[in-house]
Structure 1
Amino acid sequence: MKMSGVVSMFLAVIFLFGPSYSFSSASQLVGSDIIQKYDLHIKGTSSTEEVLLPHELTGPNWGLKQSVLKRTGFELSPYAGQRVLLIRYDLVEKYYQTTNFGTESYDLSLWVVAKGHKALGAFVTCRWPHGLIPGVFAVNDSSIKLPLGELGF
């Protein structure tokens, strides 16, 4: 009984004073270099899924993603056929479909492709209440902007 009391006390100390992890800072996230480089702002929690990249990065799924990734200097070919992490972060930024800034906009998700803690690349997708909107965008797409209220106007 004495030992279980010590273990309980140890766990309580770890809980109260042990390591804490906060994801309020992008520097602690996988892909933080990408988030910072493109001045993106994440919100909420992330989700992570392990996926197997196909041996051929072609077609409407990974072929499209590979094409978008290449526009920003990323290359997944060396990782074809390997298991990678696909991490989704919701963004504060919106995608503005029209040239009139502030009219039609869509919520965005940033997808980071990673091997362990190393980001291999990232792309952006639009989402709406009923699911994803077809389309994959480069992280440097000029239609990705903070909402007007976030710009201080």
Structure 2
Amino acid sequence: MLDGPSYKASGGDPKKSPGQWTRYEGSLEFMAKVAAESKSGISHIYESKAGRYGGTFAHWQIALAYAKWLSPELHMAVNETYMRYKSGDHTLALEVIDKQTDPKKLADIEVRARSIRNYVGAYREFGSFRRLKWL
């Protein structure tokens, strides 16, 4: 919900309301792109209802874009995390693992780590990934 905690945390400034955000050309272009990617209309990914049980509801991508517009700090944190991911920063993976509390998911992570370790061991033994792929 866009006009929930994020909007209230911004001080409830009417200039920062979801309606104001949607007036920016870039916001509308972004919503159209999300709608196209999800093969649905904008009305399925963004909805605003007035009244006692109303509010503004949106696809997670739109909610995050709105939150980034509200908070430069959040925008920077998201950008930093994305760059760490794209650059292959292994400490990001370690931070994600540290936050995981579900034993089944931790077991899945361990199995995946073992398979990677075995792949890297085979790489070292045979000298290259190209040769390894043809075995």
TM-score > 0.5, shorter chain as reference: no
Structure having the higher helix fraction is 2
* TM-score bracket for this pair, using the shorter chain length: under 0.3
Structure having the higher strand fraction is 1
Normalising by structure 2, what TM-score?
Answer: 0.23
Normalising by structure 1, what TM-score?
Answer: 0.21
Higher Cα Rg, which structure: 2
Q: Which fold has the larger relative contact order, with Cα–Cα distance below 8 Å and residues 6 or more apart in sequence? A: 1
